[in-house]
């Protein structure tokens, strides 16, 4: 994988061999091999930014902007991935801010920041889909080096990010069309130690609604989701949702940053312990209701409201204004997200309901 290189080391890039010699003279770095992400080479105490290359096929390729911050001290590697969906901005903005907040000299371990995983979608402002193959990147993991552009992007992320980290956070939010309350997916794999770590990550991130998600495939060849891919490769992971409707609000950005810092404290990458938060609301069942037809969606309930089983949540009309489908809550629970712009297409989500867990224990 070729890499366009941009180094924040004090010594210019073209003197890199000399820089390596210089760095090897600093106590604590002597003899330590550089970390490699793509062709990005990172020594202890360095922050390096560049691009992972997704090789072109039939003239169509792309790049993935990343920053690797390797602490001066030994520690774990935490991967933070934003922009798997290109219309989800708070996670993207959070990672650019975080890049400037973290001092490699005070960091233990390594942060891999994937700034915008899905650059084609980001640049063309598309929800869900990559505009060049109309696939949803978060449904094609673990990817395929010989597949379409999205599948090749997933493959690069699996090889260069998932396989090279110890833990992963896949940062999402409501897409450009989704009104969404913040929540975290804790993916339960059945592997006890991994699940306990994932739970600790979800709690340390600090969002008060946590979905206990036992629905993900346990077949790595059909992992589909980035977070699930990480879990199936033995890397504890959570998927977070903070932000909505294509906004760039400060509250959603700060929630992401505070969450990431909480997980970094959990893994002792920075000083301090995760902040105390109120016990979360555990969601033990969730369901997405999809549109049965093309047309316009009219929601009748707001995000975060509680709906009763059978309650009408909205309706879909055709392009001439006739009602074609009324949609109802499949069970009682919290409306985690609801589509809040008019366009809808057959098979696309309309809303997601989460059932609040009643028992105290997990």
Binding site for Zn ion (CB under 5 A): 85, 172
**Minimum distance from residue 280 beta carbon to Zn ion (Å):** 21
Q: Is 90 helix (H, G, I), strand (E, B) or coil?
A: helix
When the beta carbons of 48 and 162 are compared against Zn ion, the nearer one is 162
Question: Sheet containing 312-317: which strands, arranged edge to edge?
Answer: 323-328, 312-317, 295-299, 343-344
Q: Backbone phi, then psi, for 91, in 5-degree steps?
A: -60, -40
**Minimum distance from residue 65 beta carbon to Zn ion (Å):** 18
**Minimum distance from residue 137 beta carbon to Zn ion (Å):** 9
Residue 103 · residue 73 · CB < 8 Å: no
C-alpha 141/C-alpha 164 separation (Å) is 16
C-alpha 170/C-alpha 158 separation (Å) is 12
**Minimum distance from residue 118 beta carbon to Zn ion (Å):** 9
A 10 A CB-CB count for 224 gives 18
Report residue 124 as tokens: 């063309």
Lookup result for tokens 């409201």: 305
**Minimum distance from residue 70 beta carbon to Zn ion (Å):** 28
Task: Please count the CA atoms within 13 angstroms of the CA of 43 that sit on its side-chain side.
Answer: 21
When the beta carbons of 85 and 216 are compared against Zn ion, the nearer one is 85
**Minimum distance from residue 133 beta carbon to Zn ion (Å):** 17
C-alpha 159/C-alpha 180 separation (Å) is 31
Strand spans (E) along the chain:
5-7, 35-37, 40-42, 47-57, 60-70, 73-82, 108-114, 167-172, 178-180, 183-187, 209-213, 237-241, 281-290, 295-299, 306-307, 312-317, 323-328, 333-339, 343-344, 349-356
When the beta carbons of 172 and 255 are compared against Zn ion, the nearer one is 172
When the beta carbons of 43 and 154 are compared against Zn ion, the nearer one is 154
**Minimum distance from residue 205 beta carbon to Zn ion (Å):** 16
When the beta carbons of 3 and 82 are compared against Zn ion, the nearer one is 82
**Minimum distance from residue 171 beta carbon to Zn ion (Å):** 9
Task: Output the CA torsion 131→143→67→74 (10° steps).
Answer: 160
When the beta carbons of 23 and 127 are compared against Zn ion, the nearer one is 127
């Amino acid at each position: 994988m070729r890499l366009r290189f941009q180094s924040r080391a004090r010594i210019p890039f073209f003197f890199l061999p000399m820089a390596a010699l210089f760095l090897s003279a600093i106590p604590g770095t002597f003899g330590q091999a550089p970390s490699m992400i793509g062709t990005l080479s990172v020594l202890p105490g360095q922050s390096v930014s560049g691009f992972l290359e997704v090789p072109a096929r039939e003239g169509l390729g792309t790049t993935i902007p990343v920053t690797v911050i390797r602490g001066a001290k030994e520690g774990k590697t935490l991967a933070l991935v934003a922009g798997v969906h290109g219309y989800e901005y708070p996670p993207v903005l959070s990672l650019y801010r975080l890049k400037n907040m973290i001092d490699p000299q005070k960091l233990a371990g390594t942060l891999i920041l994937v700034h915008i995983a899905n650059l084609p979608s980001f640049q063309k402002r598309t929800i869900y889909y990559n505009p060049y193959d109309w696939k949803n990147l978060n449904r094609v993991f673990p990817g395929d080096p010989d597949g379409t552009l999205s599948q090749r992007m997933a493959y690069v992320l699996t090889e260069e990010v998932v396989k090279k980290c110890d833990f992963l956070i896949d940062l999402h939010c409501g897409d450009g069309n989704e009104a969404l309350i913040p929540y975290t997916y804790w993916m339960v794999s059945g592997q006890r130690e991994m699940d306990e770590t994932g739970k600790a990550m979800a709690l340390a991130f600090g969002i008060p609604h946590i979905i206990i998600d036992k629905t993900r495939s346990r077949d790595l060849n059909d992992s589909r989701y980035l977070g699930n891919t990480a879990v199936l490769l033995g890397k504890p992971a959570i998927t977070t949702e903070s932000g909505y409707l294509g906004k760039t609000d400060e509250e959603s950005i700060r929630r992401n940053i505070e969450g990431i810092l909480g997980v970094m404290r959990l893994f002792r990458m920075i000083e301090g312990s995760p902040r105390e938060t109120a016990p979360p609301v555990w969601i033990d069942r969730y369901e997405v209701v999809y549109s049965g037809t093309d047309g316009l969606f009219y929601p009748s309930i707001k995000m975060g409201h509680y709906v009763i089983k059978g309650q009408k949540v909205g309706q879909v009309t055709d392009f001439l204004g006739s009602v074609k489908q009324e949609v109802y809550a499949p069970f009682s629970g919290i409306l985690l997200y609801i589509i809040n712009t008019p366009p809808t297409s057959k098979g696309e989500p309309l809303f997601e309901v989460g059932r609040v867990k009643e028992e105290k224990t997990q």
